């Protein structure tokens, strides 16, 4: 520091000499700033690093503790990866509060691991317990593999398990992959409203909303908050159709709500939907092409970026599912008409709980059988009976069987994954159907879309949770969403 002191003013040097305490403070500070500080890093970065000798700091949760006479071994995970980092420390650093599940902050040096199964380990200099965890009361035990049914009892804690941690990373990557697919293919993302006056599906399974505190429903003195009844959305489709008057391809990805009084493994009151709308198309094939490309592109992206997490599911939750998934990805999806599907069902030897008849909706048991019949390859069923579909489905005007240009994508183990249709762009036909259903006044704005520069268009919706079930082989839909909402459930 001789050059540094030569540059200091003489008066300042005299002051430092006269005040030895200040001089000592300067020296101690010089020593402090010369020390090599630890870099705060995520465990996924550490495990792929070869910067041996580097000082780092990690934060995470203890997955295992093994204390020996002179040495302490820990495995720590921070949620960034399935794998845990091995930490080696002097036994003197062991504390009684250092238990399975406790949150820690550890500083140390990266060293090459002598074990073949891991490249690097952390030689700890200091271990600080940030949050205690009583392993006796903690519902997850260190040496037990808990079932999905068991961890479902603890929605506030299950993110700390390996299995559900993997699910959340896969879910995050799947969301990114879907968004990337649409961006790469020229789709514009639209944020459709959660509160709406529309019942897009027409099934009446709506959650009506009113301000809190009202003892009774709306009255003359207290009208509806939005002047009309308002509901949580069941679909963003009608709002996307608005946007096809200005954009050729649009999509939305967000929460939807269905007031189905069901606690089955297939239903949720709140779930996520991927919905897309394509303008300037007369063809169902344009819609099915996007469905198939979306499924395959997103799935291949997930398999490449979350290989360890997906492997955990395919090994312990759904053994053998990887082969079934590869079979889906390698083959072109098949297409049959609704009429052909009913004919297949009628000639099958299987006893169905619901007898298949033309004009009746396909049940889940029918959908699963059809996929198996077609070699466990995803299957498009097209041209459903006109009366089965909502008012917006395009009339095929075919005889003798009156059908709509609608399509469902059926996948192995799940049944229906996607549903879509061409939309009725012909004003008179649309007006006639709305009059028959008594919805003309409610959907006057929808009719106006056909009056001002309307074009033939169509689209589809895909249940995000069902998609995750399909690629992972998970049986219960409540196991692929962070906080499942269903009838009679406890809401956090």
**Residue 317 has which token pair?**
């939750």
User: Domains of the chain: which residue ranges?
Assistant: 39-131, 160-211+226-479
| Dist. CA 54–CA 40, nearest whole Å | 11
Instruction: Determine the Cα–Cα distance for residues 162 and 82; give it in Å rounded to an integer.
Output: 7
Query: Tens digits of per-residue pLDDT, 284-313?
Result: 999 999 999 999 999 999 999 999 999 999
CATH hierarchy code of domain 39-131 = 2.40.50.140
- For 232, the enclosing helix (H) or strand (E) is strand 230-232
Q: Token match 């789709």: residue?
A: 187
Dihedrals φ, ψ of 212, to 5°? -65, 150
User: Average pLDDT in the 320-333 region?
Assistant: 97
Within 335-417, residue ranges assigned H as helices are: 338-346, 364-373
DSSP 97: T
pLDDT in tens, 4-38: 444 455 544 444 444 444 444 444 444 444 445 57
pLDDT per residue over 173-202, tens digit each?
999 999 999 999 999 999 999 999 877 655
Please give the pLDDT value at position 412. 96
CB 107 within 8 A of CB 37: no
Decide if 39-131 and 160-211+226-479 have a common fold: no
Q: Please report, for residues 102, 164, 278, 467, the alpha-carbon distance to residue 483 in angstroms, rounded to integers and kept in the order given.
A: 23, 12, 32, 17
Mean pLDDT of the chain: 89
> What is the DSSP annotation of 427-488?
HHHHHHHHHHTT-TTTTHHHHHHTTSS---EEEEEEEHHHHHHHHHT-S-GGGSSSS-B-TT
Contact 481, 465 (CB under 8 A): yes
Q: How far apart are the first and last CA of the chain?
A: 60
Q: Return the CATH class of domain 160-211+226-479.
A: alpha beta
**Matching residue, tokens 């298949």:** 356
- CB within 8 Å of 458: residues ≥ 6 apart: 277, 278, 281, 284, 286, 287, 394, 405, 420, 421, 422, 423
Q: Does pTM surpass 0.75? A: yes
Four-CA torsion 214, 217, 221, 224, nearest 10 degrees: 90
Is pLDDT at 472 greater than 50 in this prediction?
Answer: yes
Q: Are the beta carbons of 329 and 470 closer than 8 angstroms?
A: no
């Amino acid at each position: 520091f001789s050059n540094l002191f030569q540059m200091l003013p003489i008066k300042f040097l005299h002051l430092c000499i006269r005040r030895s305490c200040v001089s000592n403070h300067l020296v101690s500070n010089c020593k402090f700033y010369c020390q090599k500080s630890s870099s705060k890093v995520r465990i996924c970065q550490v495990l792929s690093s070869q910067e041996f000798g580097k000082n780092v700091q990690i934060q995470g949760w203890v997955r295992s503790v093994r204390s020996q006479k002179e040495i302490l071994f820990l495995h720590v995970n921070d949620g960034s990866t399935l794998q845990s980092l091995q930490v080696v420390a002097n036994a003197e650093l062991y504390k009684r509060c250092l238990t399975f599940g406790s949150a820690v902050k550890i500083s140390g040096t990266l060293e090459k691991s002598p074990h073949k199964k891991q490249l690097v380990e952390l030689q700890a200099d200091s271990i600080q317990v940030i949050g205690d965890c009583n392993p006796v009361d903690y519902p997850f035990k260190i040496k037990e593999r808990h079932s999905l049914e068991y961890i479902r009892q603890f929605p506030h804690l299950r993110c700390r398990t390996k299995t559900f941690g993997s699910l959340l990373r896969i879910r995050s990557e799947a969301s990114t992959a879907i968004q990337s697919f649409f961006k790469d293919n020229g789709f514009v993302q639209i944020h459709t409203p959660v509160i709406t006056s529309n019942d897009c599906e027409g099934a009446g399974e709506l959650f009506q909303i009113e301000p809190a505190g009202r003892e009774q429903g709306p009255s003359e003195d207290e009208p509806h908050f939005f002047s009309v009844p308002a509901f949580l959305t069941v679909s963003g489709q009608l709002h996307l159709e608005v946007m096809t008057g200005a954009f050729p391809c649009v999509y939305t990805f967000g929460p939807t709500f269905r007031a189905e009084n069901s606690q089955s493994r297939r239903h949720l009151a709140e779930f996520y939907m991927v919905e897309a709308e394509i303008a300037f198309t007369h063809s169902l094939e344009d819609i099915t092409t996007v469905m198939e490309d979306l499924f395959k592109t997103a799935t291949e992206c997930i398999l490449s970026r979350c290989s360890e997490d997906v492997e955990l599911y395919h090994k312990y939750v759904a053994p053998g599912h990887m082969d079934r998934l590869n079979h889906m990805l390698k083959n072109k999806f098949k297409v049959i008409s609704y009429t052909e599907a009913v004919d297949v069902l009628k000639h099958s030897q299987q006893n169905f709980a619901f007898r298949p008849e033309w004009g009746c909706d396909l049940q889940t048991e029918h959908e699963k059988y059809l996929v198996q019949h077609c070699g466990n390859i995803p299957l498009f069923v097209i041209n459903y009976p006109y009366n089965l579909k909502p008012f917006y489905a395009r009339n095929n005007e075919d005889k003798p069987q009156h059908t709509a240009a609608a399509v469902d994508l059926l996948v192995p183990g799940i049944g229906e994954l996607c549903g879509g249709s061409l939309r009725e762009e012909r004003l008179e036909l649309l007006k006639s159907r709305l009059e028959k259903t008594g919805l003309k006044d409610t959907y006057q704005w929808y009719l106006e879309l056909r009056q001002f520069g309307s074009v033939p268009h169509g689209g589809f919706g895909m249940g995000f949770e069902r998609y995750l079930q399909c690629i992972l082989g998970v049986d219960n839909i409540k196991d692929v969403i962070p906080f499942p909402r269903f009838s009679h459930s406890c809401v956090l």
